[in-house]
Chains A and B, each alone.
Chain A
């Protein structure tokens, strides 16, 4: 780790060491605690650190960092719940889900992940940068450009169970922002939502997950598919269509309505990629997912359509994908499947 080098911070550092020593003396005098432990709880938030293990390894992160830049969409909901101020964020990929960040002119705009303006991060002089996810490709660059900051990536890793990963992420955020209880509450909520959705599923109905965009229906593969794939193993869903060797290159595959009709799903769960746009802004063919599915002549005999067993995800799901969105999704699924 690197210490701040400017004289001003050096002074505060000295002061905090004196304070820490004083506190240590006091503590050791009354309880006999080890001085090392006391040093990390010296009271001044900016110098305390915590070691967390992110997607790349162990990183020393300041507790309650003063200046935070977050680039990973999956953490915004938690950060905004905890009223964490951000110095910069990629407003281009945040839609209208977090007006608290996107409408605030004090939050610098990093742009979108295709053409990010990484200089805005440097200009913010952050203590902590939460990167990864859509910004995963820029990890090395960001790390090099911001030597003073702790750069972490805590987004769910693709080869691990998505939901344990989300809980790990929340736990880390809790440690960094000193909200371990809140983090635990979020994790518990997710766990109980998963349990509820699992209990509501009868274990035999077949499920197909699809995404819709520009009037087209794409197939989301169980387990590996985007957003909805991980729900299959978590809830023990029986896939309506399984393809041998379906890998992640079959994400959102081109699929005909015929193939969906042929797989005869009891349930269709749809991620509407264009849903974030208001109804009036829609392309003519791109009816909202429900309409697209229920109005398709080829699908009229499918049990899911006949029984109205169609679940369409929250419009902002595609942007958020954080622990809260999945908790909401599992609650929504529990309600739908229990009805």
Chain B
């Protein structure tokens, strides 16, 4: 009896909260559109410039932010570990290696071809990570990201070595420095691929949740664990591969956002998903705005701001973990 009287208002409150969050994110996006060096109200060209630089950049922020954050959540479910995302599992480093190799061996490959190669490498890397996890006896949850970070370090050492051999070191730095500075019309469109990834994550949310409960539970409910594991990893790999090619590394984004959301709202993947996507958009947009403002008319790459924010949250999470 009590249940029925309380449920509707709570439901309503939830919707109201989500609506508020959407409004806040929209506010951030409007700010992102409004901030720039060129005075868009000054002349006719200003209006055109909005479509050339501002809209593409903001769209890129939305697409990358939502995809990286949700794929972080997927990664955490699949590994059953809070500290895993594309950066702490070495997946982005594999994507980077793939990108460099494709540039060296198949220089005529277009942007899409490069993304395919990068995504394949990211997938192979993520699967290798999963394989190692399944073979290792894990005594502490922290061992999992440590394995990933170690793997990533080995892979990025190989990438650096290759780049040094072909005098591409400086190019490498420019390439992988996560930054939306150069995102203009004609250079962001491929990011729509990650919109598909995000939608697929929403579709597969329940199955991923079940897979997150472990192989035995999943199988007993009738979910094909292996299929979900592989398709989930593939989604993460595509998100990582595509964003690395277009904007570079976005460190810790996929780690910080899902964790904050579950801290506030508890663990319910399906209900949390929109929050994670919104949170990813909000965080990357906020960091990008900060990066654009502090040394105007120049910019601080978003990866630097994200790295700082991410590191602080990561350490806070570690402390929480210790207390729990």
Query: What is the interface of chain A, defined by CB distance below 8 A to chain B?
Result: 92-93, 95, 112, 114-115, 213-217, 219, 241, 243, 250, 253-259, 261-263, 273-274, 276, 280-286, 296-298, 301
What is the chain B residue whose CB lies nearest that of A274?
B171
Which residues of A sit under 8 angstroms from B198, Cβ to Cβ? none
The reply to whether B171 and A213 contact each other, CB–CB distance below 8 Å, is yes
Beyond the given A241-B297, A256-B53, could you list 10 further A-B residue pairs with CB under 8 A, ordered by the A residue number? A213-B171, A250-B298, A253-B295, A255-B298, A273-B170, A283-B107, A283-B175, A284-B111, A297-B185, A301-B45
Which residues of B sit under 8 angstroms from A280, Cβ to Cβ? 107-108
With A273-B170, A283-B171, A284-B114 known as contacts, the answer to whether A296 contacts B298 (CB < 8 A) is no
Which residues of B sit under 8 angstroms from A93, Cβ to Cβ? 167
Which residues of A sit under 8 angstroms from B59, Cβ to Cβ? none
A-B CB proximity, top 5 nearest: A259-B37, A253-B298, A254-B299, A214-B174, A259-B297
Which residues of A sit under 8 angstroms from B170, Cβ to Cβ? 213, 273
User: Would you give the shortest CB distance from B291 to chain A, in whole angstroms?
Assistant: 8
Does B164 have its Cβ within 8 Å of any Cβ on chain A?
yes
The reply to whether B174 and A257 contact each other, CB–CB distance below 8 Å, is no
The 8 Å CB contact of A216, one of B167, B174, B295, B297, is B174
The reply to whether A214 and B171 contact each other, CB–CB distance below 8 Å, is yes
Which residues of A sit under 8 angstroms from B107, Cβ to Cβ? 280-283
Does B186 have its Cβ within 8 Å of any Cβ on chain A?
yes
The reply to whether A254 and B298 contact each other, CB–CB distance below 8 Å, is yes
What is the chain B residue whose CB lies nearest that of A218?
B174
With A214-B171, A216-B174, A250-B298 known as contacts, the answer to whether A256 contacts B37 (CB < 8 A) is yes
The reply to whether A258 and B45 contact each other, CB–CB distance below 8 Å, is no
What is the chain B residue whose CB lies nearest that of A284?
B111
| Chain B 102-119 near chain A by CB (<8 Å), digits 1 or 0 | 010001111100100000
Q: Tell me, in angstroms, the Cα distance from A40 to B228 when the chains sit together.
A: 84
Q: Tell me, in angstroms, the Cα distance from A110 to B81 when the chains sit together.
A: 47
With A257-B53, A258-B49, A297-B186 known as contacts, the answer to whether A285 contacts B37 (CB < 8 A) is no
Does B300 have its Cβ within 8 Å of any Cβ on chain A?
yes
Segment 157-202 of B: residues with Cβ below 8 Å from A: 164, 167, 169-171, 174-175, 179, 181-182, 184-187
What is the chain A residue whose CB lies nearest that of B51?
A297
The reply to whether B297 and A243 contact each other, CB–CB distance below 8 Å, is yes
Q: Tell me, in angstroms, the Cα distance from A114 to B167 when the chains sit together.
A: 11
Query: What is the interface of chain B, defined by CB distance below 8 A to chain A?
Result: 36-39, 45, 49, 52-53, 103, 107-111, 114, 164, 167, 169-171, 174-175, 179, 181-182, 184-187, 295, 297-301
Q: Tell me, in angstroms, the Cα distance from A123 to B175 when the chains sit together.
A: 38
User: Would you give the shortest CB distance from B115 to chain A, in whole angstroms?
Assistant: 10
User: Would you give the shortest CB distance from B264 to chain A, in whole angstroms?
Assistant: 33
Q: Tell me, in angstroms, the Cα distance from A258 to B49 when the chains sit together.
A: 8
Which residues of B sit under 8 angstroms from A241, Cβ to Cβ? 297
What is the chain A residue whose CB lies nearest that of B40?
A258
The reply to whether B45 and A296 contact each other, CB–CB distance below 8 Å, is no
The reply to whether A283 and B182 contact each other, CB–CB distance below 8 Å, is no
User: Would you give the shortest CB distance from B176 to chain A, in whole angstroms?
Assistant: 9
Of A115, A256, A282, most B-chain CB atoms within 10 Å: A256
Q: Tell me, in angstroms, the Cα distance from A298 to B186 when the chains sit together.
A: 12
User: Would you give the shortest CB distance from A115 to chain B, in whole angstroms?
Assistant: 8
Which residues of B sit under 8 angstroms from A284, Cβ to Cβ? 109-111, 114
The 8 Å CB contact of B174, one of A114, A213, A258, A296, is A213
Q: Tell me, in angstroms, the Cα distance from A115 to B164 when the chains sit together.
A: 10
Which residues of B sit under 8 angstroms from A282, Cβ to Cβ? 107
Which residues of A sit under 8 angstroms from B108, Cβ to Cβ? 280
What is the chain B residue whose CB lies nearest that of A279?
B107
The reply to whether A112 and B184 contact each other, CB–CB distance below 8 Å, is no
Q: Tell me, in angstroms, the Cα distance from A258 to B48 when the chains sit together.
A: 12
19 contacts between A and B (CB under 8 A): A93-B167, A214-B175, A215-B187, A216-B181, A243-B298, A250-B298, A253-B295, A254-B301, A255-B181, A257-B53, A257-B184, A258-B36, A261-B38, A261-B49, A262-B297, A273-B170, A280-B107, A283-B103, A298-B52
Which residues of A sit under 8 angstroms from B38, Cβ to Cβ? 258-259, 261-262
Which residues of B sit under 8 angstroms from A274, Cβ to Cβ? 171
User: Would you give the shortest CB distance from B189 to chain A, in whole angstroms?
Assistant: 13
What is the chain A residue whose CB lies nearest that of B39?
A262
Q: Tell me, in angstroms, the Cα distance from A219 to B182 when the chains sit together.
A: 13
User: Would you give the shortest CB distance from B19 to chain A, in whole angstroms?
Assistant: 33
What is the chain B residue whose CB lies nearest that of A221?
B298
Q: Tell me, in angstroms, the Cα distance from A258 to B182 when the chains sit together.
A: 10
Which residues of A sit under 8 angstroms from B175, Cβ to Cβ? 214, 283
The reply to whether A298 and B174 contact each other, CB–CB distance below 8 Å, is no
Which residues of B sit under 8 angstroms from A216, Cβ to Cβ? 174, 181-182
With A213-B170, A298-B49 known as contacts, the answer to whether A254 contacts B111 (CB < 8 A) is no
Q: Tell me, in angstroms, the Cα distance from A114 to B170 when the chains sit together.
A: 12
Which residues of A sit under 8 angstroms from B53, Cβ to Cβ? 256-258, 298
The reply to whether B187 and A285 contact each other, CB–CB distance below 8 Å, is yes
The 8 Å CB contact of A255, one of B167, B169, B297, is B297
The reply to whether B167 and A92 contact each other, CB–CB distance below 8 Å, is yes
Q: Tell me, in angstroms, the Cα distance from A250 to B294 when the chains sit together.
A: 13
Which residues of B sit under 8 angstroms from A214, Cβ to Cβ? 171, 174-175
Which residues of A sit under 8 angstroms from B52, Cβ to Cβ? 297-298
With A259-B37, A262-B39 known as contacts, the answer to whether A285 contacts B111 (CB < 8 A) is yes
Q: Tell me, in angstroms, the Cα distance from A276 to B170 when the chains sit together.
A: 13
Q: Tell me, in angstroms, the Cα distance from A215 to B175 when the chains sit together.
A: 9
The 8 Å CB contact of B179, one of A95, A254, A261, A297, is A254
What is the chain B residue whose CB lies nearest that of A250?
B298
Q: Tell me, in angstroms, the Cα distance from A300 to B85 when the chains sit together.
A: 41
Which residues of B sit under 8 angstroms from A243, Cβ to Cβ? 297-298
What is the chain B residue whose CB lies nearest that of A112?
B164
User: Would you give the shortest CB distance from B289 to chain A, in whole angstroms?
Assistant: 13
Q: Tell me, in angstroms, the Cα distance from A296 to B186 when the chains sit together.
A: 10
User: Would you give the shortest CB distance from A255 to chain B, in whole angstroms?
Assistant: 6
What is the chain B residue whose CB lies nearest that of A278?
B107
